[in-house]
Amino acid sequence: MTTTPTTQADRVALVTGASGGIGRAVAERLAADGDAVVLLYSGGRQRADETLAAITERGGRAIALRADVADETEMAAAFDRAEQEFGGVDVVVNTAGVMVLAPVAELDLADLDRMHRVNIRGTFVVSQLAARRLRSGGALINFSTSVTRLQQPGYAAYAASKGAVEAMTLILARELRGRDITVNTVAPGPTATPLFLEGKPQDLVDRIADLNPMQRLGTPADIADSVAFLSGPTGRWTNGQTLYVNGGAA
């Protein structure tokens, strides 16, 4: 039977979507906290390599692997590699996701299928492996969105996929009773990542930023701080929750 690692330096974190803005911030934050980090990416190898370099140049331990979160064989191989390189897995952070926006009447069903494959099946595959292979004292953190509470036109299909993420994550927390593993969901609001800002005029960005009482967009570092809390020793009593990280927008 595996035991809880005794120090932060013993912990191993696996981060999907590590080539994205939030994924990179999460990976770098966990590495700065002392975790060895397995960076998983799908299509952004250059950005993943940049994240890897940023971590190792600061003395952190990390490897980068390509894996499709919805492919159970590829993901099992990623967990195998994490165990071979670092001895086990203690934290899984699943930031990988796809967002396609359109009104229900206009959405291409191929886009719906793609979001379901990555956001729902991908989350299920990663969660299933985490449930089987996380060490005692571990943490699984999946990603939803604050849009599930905002009812914004154009977001129906994306919000539906993330509602499914919240449901499966919170149920899994109860299923892991007795394992000393926390399972939570982080639901960011608008966050200033390159993907979010791309193609948006500044006046639109300013209007979105003004929606919350803090009157700014979130930053990837804001989201990474929440992940660090949920995955670390001070977050052990937070379990089976969806944490809305949005400055009070909803």
pTM greater than 0.95 (yes/no): no
Task: Give CA 199 to chain center in angstroms.
Answer: 24
- Would you call 41 a catalytic residue per the annotation? no
The whole-number pLDDT of residue 6 equals 44
Of 41, 155, 158, 244, the active-site residue reads: 158
Task: Tell me the per-residue pLDDT of 25-53, one tens digit each, with 9 for 90 and over.
Answer: 999 999 999 999 999 999 878 999 999 99
Confidence of residue 250 (pLDDT cuts 50, 70, 90): low
Q: Which domains does the chain have, with CATH numbers?
A: 9-191+220-244 (3.40.50.720)
Is the pLDDT confidence value at 4 over 60?
no
